Structure 1
Amino acid sequence: MGFSAIAFFVYAFDKAKAQRGVWRIQESTLHLFALLGGWPRAAVAQQLLRHKSKKREFRTVFWGTVIIIIAGLLWLYLESDGEYLRFLF
Structure 2
Amino acid sequence: MPSILLVYIIMNLIGLLVMKVDKDRAKKQQYRISENTLWLIALLGGAVGTTVGMQRYRHKTKHLSFKFGFPILAVAEIILLGYFLTI
Q: Report the TM-score, using the length of structure 2 for normalisation.
A: 0.71
One-letter identity of the residue aligned with 1:51: H
Q: Output the aligned Cα RMSD.
A: 2.7
Q: Report the TM-score, using the length of structure 1 for normalisation.
A: 0.70
Aligned residues: 79
Is the 8 Å Cα contact of residues 27 and 58 (structure 1) preserved in structure 2? no
Is the 8 Å Cα contact of residues 33 and 39 (structure 1) preserved in structure 2? yes
Cα deviation per residue 1:63-85 (whole Å; 9 max; x = unaligned)?
454466467x28xx4xxxxxxx1
Is the 8 Å Cα contact of residues 42 and 70 (structure 2) preserved in structure 1? yes
Larger RCO, structures 1/2 (Cα 8 Å, 6+ apart): 2
Rg comparison, structure with higher value: 1
Say yes or no: does 1:7 pair with 2:44. no
Moved more, 50-59 or 11-20: 50-59
